[in-house]
Structure 1
Amino acid sequence: MSGYNSQDDPSSGQSYEGLGTQCQLEQEEELAPGRESIKTETTPAKEAIFHDDTVHKLQRDDLSNSRAGPIPVPMFGAGTENTGFEPFASGPDTVTDIPALDFNGYILHASPKPVPEELQRDSTGASIAEPDAILNEENGRTYHNYHDGRYYLPNDPAEQDRLDLQHKLWTVYLDGALYRAPINSPKRVLDVATGTGIWAIQFARQHPESNVIGTDLSLIQPTNAPDNCSFVKEDAELDEWTLPTVFDYIHLRMVHTCFDDHQAVIRKCFDNLEPGGWIELQDAVFKLLCTDGSADGSHIARFSQLILQAGQSAGRDFDIPAKYKQMLVEAGFVDVVEDVGPIPGNPWPSEPKYKELGMWQMTNSYKALRGFGWKVFRKMGMPPDEIEELVRVSKDDIRDTRLHFFFPTYVVYGRKPSEWESAQPPSKRART
C-alpha cells in the first residue's frame, strides 16, 4: 500500500482491532446566527494547569469553554481492564506494542471495512506524488519545491498517510467533530495549509451547501474531491491572496511550524472574512509535559527540547499556539475562545478516550520524528548520524507507557465583528 514502510512502523507485527473504526464524524450542534453568549475569557492560566503537581488539574471543565462538557481526566497507573485497547498491561515494566497500521485503512490484518473515500489520493486510492517535489538525498524523503524550505515536513506518500492518521487523532480529540466554532451553514469556507485535503473534503461532504477551498504549498490532494471542494497551490504567508471570494469560516490546523509570522497570516484571514465570519485554529505543540517526573531525562524529552530550540534558531516559535488567542484579539476578532487540553504521548492513561488519543498520538509521533527532526536538526548543524541515533532512541521512548507525558493542544476561535459593531466605539460594543 502506498506510503507504507515496514521499517518505519512501530508495530511488533500483531493484529489489532481496537481502533478499527473509520472516520464517521458526528455533526456538531450548530448554533443559531446572532448567538450572544460566547465567552471571551478562559478559566485558570494554562501554565498553572500543565505544571501543577496533580494530573487532576487537566480536567477540561477547569480550563475550557467547550460545549462538549467536562472530559474525564487521564489517570496514572492504567490497569489491564478491557477498554478497547488491549493488550496494554500498563505496569511498571511495560513497553507498548503498537498495532500494524497502513494509514489508509488504518488497521492492517484486522479491519474488514473499506477505506473511506476521503482518505483516497486518486481514483485507485494511491497517494499522489507531487511532480516538482525535491528529494533530500541524505534522508530519502521528498519535500515541497514551491518556496523551498518554508515547511519542514516531507510531502511524500508516507507523510500524506501520516497526515490522514493525524486527522483521525483530531476527530477523536474533538469528539467526532470537525470544528468547535459556532458556525451555522457557512456558504464559503477556506482551509489554510490543507495538507492532504482530508479536513476540507470531509467538511464539504458534511456541508453540501458550502463551497470549500483548501490552500497549500503542495498540490497533493485527491483528484476525486466532491464538486463543492477545490484546492489551490499557495503560500498563505508570502503570497498575495487572490482567492475569488471572501469567506464565512476560515480553518487552520497544525500550522505552528508553517509560518515565520503567524500574526500576518491571521490578519490576512481577518481581511478575507465576511463581517460576522469565524476563524478557528487547531494546534498541538511538540512540547513534552509530564506531571509525575516519569519522562524527565528521557530521550523523547530531549528531542522535544531540541525541536523547540531548532525552531528558535530558524526564527520560528514552535510554541506559538499559546499566543493565538492574543493574536486574534489584536487582529480585531471578538468573542474569542481558547480551549486548552492534553493529548497523551502514548496510551498510558486509563480513561478510554485518552488511551485512544495516546494510541493515535504515539503512532503519529513515531511516523513524524524522522521526517521533521531531520530537516530542523540539520538546519541547526546536527550531524546525520547523531540525528539518526536521537530518532531511534526517541522512538523507543514513545512506545514506553511508563513515561506519562502529554502535549498541550489548543483550539482557538473568534468572530470578525459585524459592520454595525465595527461602527460603534469599542466601549459600546456588546461584550459577554
Structure 2
Amino acid sequence: MAELFQVTTDPEIEPDDVHYHDSDSAYNDSLESESYRTSITSSVLNYKYHAYREGEYALPNDEEEQDRMDLLHHTYSLILDGEIHIAPIKNAQRVLIIGTGTGIWAVHFADPIQPKWVPPNCQFEIDDFESEWPYAHHFDYIHGRELAGSIHDFPRLCKQAFAHLRPAPYTKQVVSLVQEASAKFGKSMDNLDTWPAAMKEAGYTDVVCKIVKAPSSPWAKDPKQKEIGRFFQAHQVHSVPAYTNVLLSKILGWSKTEIDILNMHVLRESKNLEVHQYGKLYLIYGRKPL
C-alpha cells in the first residue's frame, strides 16, 4: 500500500559529554588500551593467593580453585535452568560484575554462544570492589556471585552499587500509564500517528507530518537542543502532575500517595543528564483543495 502522506523524522539527538570529567575520560582511555585488555601481569597475580591488596580475600586463586569456581558456575547454571542470572532486565548495554572470579560468567554474559576467547565487549579490570569505583558512567545491571566472606561493609557496597546503577525509566512508565488511562477515558493520547491518514481521508491534500524530537532535559550537545531541554525540564514540574493526578486516580484507581511517589521519581529522573529522554512532537498540516 502506498503512503498517502509525507512523514519526516528528526535525526537522533547527540548527547553532551561535558558532564564527564577529563580525569575519568583519561582513566577510561587507559582501561581500553589493547595491552590492558589482553594481559593480566604476573606482578599482580600470584599462583597461590591474591597479591593485589593481599589479605583482603581469604580464598586462594590457584588452578585448583579456578577449576572449583568454573564447576560452581556450571552448578549455578543447572540450578537456574541454563540462565546465568534471574534479574528481570533486557537489552542491558552496560554491565558491571563484581568479584568476577575466573571471568567465565562475564564471558558467557557478553556472548551467550560461550566462546573460548574473550569477547570484545568484555573488559577485565583489577581492583578492589570495596574501594571507590572510578566509573563516570552508569550500569544497567550490576552482578555479584559467591561474595560471602569477601565483603567488609555490605551496606556501603549496596549504596555504591545503587549510585552507579542507571535509573529505571519512570518517565516511560508514566507515559504508558497516561496512554492507558486516556484510552479508557475515550480520548486517547497514543494515536497521533493516525492523524495524517485521517486528514487525508477527510479530504485534505498535501498532508505533511513532521516529527520533531525535543529533549526533556538539557542533556543534548547542540546549544539549541540544550536550551529546549531546559524549558521542557521546567515544564515537567507542572505537566507531570497535571497529566497523572486525574487520569491515574479516577481512571486507574491509584491513591494520591502512589501518584505523588511516582511523580517524585519522574521529576528526579528528569534532573539526571545520564537519562537521554526526548519527546516526539507531531506537526501536521494539510490543504483544503479548491
Give the shorter-chain TM-score range.
0.3 to 0.5
The TM-score normalised by the length of structure 2 is 0.46
- Which structure: larger Rg? 2
The TM-score normalised by the length of structure 1 is 0.31
Higher helix proportion (structure 1 or 2):
2
